[in-house]
Each structure stands twice: as structure tokens, then as C-alpha cells.
Amino acid sequence: MTEKHQKRENDAPSVNSNHTVIHENILIIGAGPCGLAAAIALQEQGFEPLVIDKGNVVHTLSRYPTHQTFFSSAEKLEIGGLPFTIEQRKPNRSQALAYYREVAKRKKIRIQPYVEVLSIVPTATTESGSMPKINDVTDLGTSKESEEQKIEQGKMGEKEKIGQQIATSSSAKPLFQVHGHSQDKQDVYYTANYVILATGYYDNPNLMCIPGEELNKVFHYFHEAHPFYDQHVTVIGGKNSAVDAALELEKVGAHVTVLYRGETYSSSVKPWILPEFDALVRHGKVAMEFGAEVIEIKEKELSYKINGEVKTIANDFVFAMTGYHPDHAFLHKLGVGTDSETGRPHFAEETMETNVPNVFIAGVIAAGNNANEIFIENGRFHGELIAKEIANREGM
């Protein structure tokens, strides 16, 4: 089989006496629905990509609340041409997990679970295919200087220089060096000719940056309500995740206060849950404060401000459902530009290729900070654009 179809391990370049680099033609980072869809689209073009995830298949979905029901209908979550058949119209979390596991199994997608990618470095290869030493490469996220500061101060590291050489030289084929950690923190190294980022944004909550946010009683993810029976719980936010958490918490007997900086209910709240939530607010079973700005969290109380007036309430736990964002630092270190206002990566919509040659994006990461623009139901088609472009380049 050719390199297009098969990984090469035995002849991969050795970084040093302790590590071997596994070469893959195409690496997909992220085994969510959009990453899996991209893998299937590439399979249909004759490739055998490797999918890497720091969890297992659809890891992000497994972190959803146990009671979660999707906004989209089952048919709009389908990938790879495999029917998602259930009795009701909209699937729940457990049904979605079962479906995507079955897709991965039936499509025989090559998946390497429990490897967290720490760095992706563009490197220029020589005619002999030799690679820079891993020890000479700086991992992503280690520098505190922004890209703008580096430019202004005239500082550009070796990694950025290599990236520039690739971008400006048509004779040098981009090759990427990927460094990750396995579940037991062992180093794992890959090289690849193409990298597809399908990492989403769920791992990066929007922080409030207020005193007390670091306390153990503060959560940015809601999984299950039972542990909070008869506790004073504050939910911060007013969109789907916040309203959904408040409903479940009230159901198990928690004393719930919802603080939202908006002046009225968000238009993004699922229409079938808003009437129930509003009824709870009107009947005093959930305390709802609009125009609220949280200013401090303490061990047994929480303070917030409305129209300049500071209020303090009893509090045992906080769910800060303030949204999520892509890992901008990760993208910037790779050389992918983003819009300063929207956080949207720079990419060509017809191919999903970023400004870094041979680096593509798929799924919700393409929407930047706008979590309401791209979902599974439209992000699942990105892989087809990517596969077509790579196939054209590879003469498939």
C-alpha cells in the first residue's frame, strides 16, 4: 500500500534514542462527530487517516448532562450515511453516544484515544526527510507573549520561521511534527503531511475573572443534579445550558437562583423548555435576576450587582454556564490567524484550509466564539470539502 493509505512506523525518523516518530499522511485531532465525519469522507477518497483524541470517541458528548436531549433531530446528526434510527424525533445523550460508537465500529475508523496533543509544529523537511530534534521544539502555549507582541518587538522563534518558509516556498511540502501525551503521561510523537483540527471549544470555558471563581464549589460544566439536593445553588447565565441546569436542579429540590446579565430571556433557549422554566420563575420556585453582574464568590455566599446596587445571597455551589471558546493560543502557536473580534479562524470556506498550508479545520471550531453558528448538523459536511481538496492535491 502507498503512503496515502498506510501509516509508516518502521522507517519513521527517530528523534533520539528514546523516541520513535510515527508518520501519518493525515492526522485528525478530535474524535467528535465532525472529526469522525471528516475521517469517513477521507476514507471514501481512498485515505486512511488517524484520529487522535484526548478522550475516547465523542468525548465531548460524554460530558454532556446525563439527561441531555439534542436540539437537532436524529437525521441531522447522521454521518457516514448510517441511519440514526430512534422512536422519538430528537435523540438524548445516551442514544447519541451509542450511535457514534457504532459508526466508528462499522466504518473501521482508525482512532487513537487518550492522547492529548500538546503541540503541532510546522517543519521543513530536507531531501533525506530528517527532522529537527524534539528537544529543540517549543510546545504550544509555553510562551506568554502574544503574536502581536512578537511582531512589534521583532521577535520570531525558529518555529515561526519554519512556518514562514513553508508558506512561501512552493517546493517545500509542509510536514507537521505532533507531540502528545498518552494517558499515563508518556510522550507520543507523530509526523503528518496534513493536519485537520476538529477540536471544538467545549474544553475552554469563558471565565468571569472575578474573586472566588477558583473555588472548588464553582463549576463550568453541569452533569447531574442529584448531589445538590437541598443546597443553595446559583446558576450564572441565561442561555440553554443555564436554563437546562436550573430546571434539573429545581427538580431535585435545590434552592436555585439564576443570574443573567441580559435584560430578558435569550432567544437561543430551546422553545420547548422555556415555558416550563418561566412558569417556575413566576411561581417563585426559581429566583431569576436579569441585568445581574456577579462580582464575588465566597465559601457560603455570593455577591452581584444590579443597577449599581450590590446584593448578597446564601450560596453553596455555583454553575457558571458562561459559554466556551476555541483554544486561540493553540491555533496561534500553529500559525493559524483568528479574527480579533469574533475569534473566527482564517480559512477558505470552499476547502476549510486555514492560512497555514495543509492545516484544515472542521466543525464548530470554524465558528470562533459564536457557539450558535455551527453545530453537528452543518459541521458534519466540512469533512467532504477537506477530503475533496486533499484528494485533488494527491492526484486521487
CATH code of the domain covering residue 106: 3.50.50.60
Say if 5 falls within a structural domain.
Answer: no
Per-position DSSP letters for 220-263, written without gaps between them: S----SGGGTT-EEEEE--SHHHHHHHHHHHHTT-EEEEEESSS
Say if 210 falls within a structural domain.
Answer: no
184 and 132 within one domain: yes
116 and 22 within one domain: yes
Say if 184 falls within a structural domain.
Answer: yes
Last residue of a domain, one of 320, 345, 369: 320
139 and 79 within one domain: yes
Separation CA 95–CA 69 (nearest Å): 9
How many domains does the chain divide into?
2
259 and 145 within one domain: no
Say if 211 falls within a structural domain.
Answer: no
288 and 145 within one domain: no
228 and 143 within one domain: no
Residues with Cβ within 8 Å of residue 33, at least 6 apart in sequence: 58, 61, 77, 79, 100, 363, 376, 379, 380
Last residue of a domain, one of 320, 347, 365: 320
Beta-sheet strands, E only, within 90-217: 110-112, 115-123, 175-182, 187-197
Backbone angles phi, psi at 390, to 5 degrees: -65, -40
Q: Tell me, what's the pLDDT at 116?
A: 96
Closest CA to 240 of 218, 263, 260: 260
Q: Tell me, what's the pLDDT at 395?
A: 86
Q: Which domain range does residue 296 map to?
A: 218-320
287 and 225 within one domain: yes
Closest CA to 272 of 14, 6, 88: 88
- Residue 282 CB neighbour total at 10 angstroms: 10
Say if 1 falls within a structural domain.
Answer: no
Say if 137 falls within a structural domain.
Answer: yes
Last residue of a domain, one of 273, 300, 320: 320
Say if 304 falls within a structural domain.
Answer: yes
Say if 347 falls within a structural domain.
Answer: yes
Positions of the chain with pLDDT under 70:
1-18, 124-174
pTM metric for this prediction:
0.79
133 and 22 within one domain: yes
Strand pairing class (293-297; 301-306) = antiparallel
303 and 284 within one domain: yes
Q: Tell me the longest C-alpha to C-alpha distance in the chain.
A: 74
337 and 313 within one domain: no
189 and 69 within one domain: yes
